[in-house]
Structure 1
């Protein structure tokens, strides 16, 4: 089969190699899946760079979420078991963790309903307790993680403020349903958010960026507000001033979604049921900005790492080379 392999640590475009390798052999409790669609996540970039908390042995195949097909024909969503990731024609996954792919979504959308939307649901509902009528601020609102949080916030009845970088991403954030869009490249984020909220600030802030975005969050979070930390796409891990959190009376909440798979997997299934219901009603629909063939995956991973994409890029092994949608 064809698969992308990482033999050394570095930039994705430099270290990912497209190779002919044997199909992976499932271990105990695992199943072989034909990959129908794989979505690229920022952790794929970090794994290539050796900067992710999970460091699979070399060589490994990136690709953390897929829509796949079992040998008995079931269409499922899965997190492949590394080192046999999803940027390949076949992957393996733990059978107990397979989730049914929603009928309302195509393969690329179904794969994208997993990590980003599960992270959003757990962050907004399990950790922050977002309530209808509250104001939610989402950093990187046009990205894969941010776009999911925007849709989930609107589905929960919140007023959503989206922060983006650039006019094109601002247009996408508006189409996603943001009530207010702030272009950090041309607007003062702090002043604009304060004006939009009448000086009160946002009740919940969803931050997959870190760095300057976190600093801005601390200045626009409301009394008894909650900042949900889900990642550091900026490359800078902030060091929060806890005296500031004390004086302003806000909470800083960390979220490592993957931990729920081992600590409380039933909650993951419960979340998937809720997401499937929302998808069936049309309340959420993953933003898949591109669909590319397997041979174009390394370039796509690099573009995600360079911050040049919106939503999710889906890799479709059955898509003819030289085509994209």
Structure 2
């Protein structure tokens, strides 16, 4: 089987496609024929040894996939060959096949194609956990989404609307903001053309926003924090800008606001039952059409490095997906 391999830590252009042996399947594992593997920001970090998960070389990037079960280990009872599934593997998904622990695999919802399924759970699972659980976003509150045209950003817009919030989307171009409006944003901010703090003030009559969804980091974080309302909540999702911000903590004191960390991967392991409840809700909304994952491009395995580069450079709207079988 073919796999996109990281054989030495470095940028995406160092990745290579090579033939690999079919993975062996342990008693509690399943072998999956990968039909689609979503590209996520951690993929750009793990190949440069900048991520908390540090696999041994060589390895394939890709932590989220959809595919078809090929073989099941003799202790696996809830899955069988031929099942359409979604899996969360941390790495290894950008290959034609992957063997992974069965407890990392869930059935794929009916009526959903593999590409959509591969791009759904990590993005929407993270975001629902952030908004509904960590921020306790309430109907009628105002939500500001930074990096709003990215995969998690668009998920935040849709889930914010599903939870009854007034959503302000912030992004770096009018083209990206048009996509945000298509996904339900009530108002938009181009933070290249406007100062973010001033724009927040103008769009909230000086009150500020109740919740900030921040997957960007960098200098945007402090500006957004300054734009929060009393008892506001700033959600730390990630650092796509590359810089981990160090906001003045006196802002949290003066505003009575909270800076809240969101680590969905750890949450799924520490609180699996609560995670299942949250997944049930987002699957229900997906079936009802309230959530519409936006996949802006699909790539064959040979162009996997290119896809990671596009996502890491923040040039993609929505999600990008690798199709290893093409």
TM-score range, shorter chain: over 0.9
Deviations 1:35-74 (A, max 9, x none): 0111000000001111111111111100110011112111
1:12-161 map, 5 Å = 12-13=12-13, 15-71=14-70, 72-80=81-89, 82=91, 85-161=92-168
DSSP-derived class of the 1:120 partner: helix
Q: Which runs of 5+ in 2 are unaligned?
A: 71-80
Contact 2:146 / 2:153 at 8 angstroms: preserved in 1? Answer: yes
**Deviation of residue 219 (structure 1)?**
1.0
Question: Partner of 2:10 in structure 1?
Answer: 10
DSSP-derived class of the 2:309 partner: helix
Inter-partner Cα distance in structure 2 for 1:104 and 1:275: 15
Inter-partner Cα distance in structure 1 for 2:41 and 2:90: 17
TM-score under structure 1 length normalisation = 0.94
DSSP-derived class of the 1:295 partner: helix
Identify the range of structure 1 (290-299 vs 33-42) with the bigger mean alpha-carbon deviation. Answer: 290-299
**Residue 192 (structure 1) aligned to one of 186, 193, 199:** 199
Contact 1:81 / 1:92 at 8 angstroms: preserved in 2? Answer: no
Runs of 4+, deviation exceeding 6 Å: none
**Deviation of residue 268 (structure 1)?**
2.0
Question: Partner of 1:213 in structure 2?
Answer: 220
Aligned length: 316
Question: Partner of 2:318 in structure 1?
Answer: 311
Contact 1:34 / 1:70 at 8 angstroms: preserved in 2? Answer: yes
DSSP-derived class of the 2:321 partner: strand
Question: Partner of 2:78 in structure 1?
Answer: none
**Deviation of residue 81 (structure 1)?**
5.6
Inter-partner Cα distance in structure 2 for 1:26 and 1:80: 15
Contact 1:117 / 1:148 at 8 angstroms: preserved in 2? Answer: yes
**Deviation of residue 310 (structure 1)?**
1.3
Inter-partner Cα distance in structure 1 for 2:25 and 2:266: 23
Question: Partner of 2:309 in structure 1?
Answer: 302
Computed over aligned residues only, the root mean square deviation of the Cα atoms, in angstroms, reads 1.2
1:292 aligned onto 2:324:
no
**Deviation of residue 244 (structure 1)?**
1.8
**Deviation of residue 263 (structure 1)?**
0.7
The structure-2 alpha-carbon separation of the partners of 1:93 and 1:187, relative to structure 1 and needing over 3 Å to count, comes to same
**Deviation of residue 225 (structure 1)?**
0.5
Contact 1:169 / 1:310 at 8 angstroms: preserved in 2? Answer: yes
Inter-partner Cα distance in structure 2 for 1:203 and 1:93: 40
Question: Partner of 1:236 in structure 2?
Answer: 243
Deviations 1:64-109 (A, max 9, x none): 1001111211111111264xx1111011222123222122322111
Q: Which runs of 5+ in 1 are unaligned?
A: 320-325
Question: Partner of 2:174 in structure 1?
Answer: 167
**Deviation of residue 170 (structure 1)?**
1.2
The structure-2 alpha-carbon separation of the partners of 1:104 and 1:275, relative to structure 1 and needing over 3 Å to count, comes to farther
Inter-partner Cα distance in structure 2 for 1:81 and 1:132: 34
TM-score under structure 2 length normalisation = 0.94
**Deviation of residue 260 (structure 1)?**
1.6
**Deviation of residue 294 (structure 1)?**
1.8
